[in-house]
Copies of this chain bind each other. A is one copy, B any other.
């Protein structure tokens, strides 16, 4: 396990990948983001994006899946406090999403036995183009005293 003391600015975690299907886009959006560009293939084809695109919140949920597998299985996180998301380009069915994150800052708080870590993540598509970036402010456990 990696604790707050084990993290350093510039440390990078590579994400795995996740292919988003048309069926997932439709299912997610019908429940959480019922707007025609996400829920109706035929109407979306005539819409502003010339086809069905994923809800940004679907993409964000996939970001969480990727960062859980790449980071939170090995870093002793306590909780995410806040995050900022920027959306760069639409995600279409069958896109293979991947990405990475990097530690932007780490501040140890010995009196609280934790550290404040800022992670900057980037999701990209197969051609390496940025889909979204996310800056997360999170608390990480300090190494337990022996």
Interface residues, chain A, with chain B CB atoms under 8 Å away: 28, 31-35, 48, 55-57, 60-62, 64-65, 68, 72, 78-87
Contacts and interface: CB of A to CB of B under 8 A. Distances in A.
Contacts of A48: 78
A57 B61 contact: yes
A118 to B, nearest CB: 13
B35 A65 contact: no
Identify whether the interface residues of A are mostly helix, strand, loop, or mixed: mixed
A55 B63 CA distance: 13
Contacts of A56: 80
18 contacts: A31-B61, A32-B64, A33-B61, A33-B65, A34-B68, A35-B72, A48-B78, A55-B64, A56-B80, A57-B60, A60-B60, A61-B61, A79-B87, A81-B86, A82-B85, A83-B85, A84-B85, A85-B85
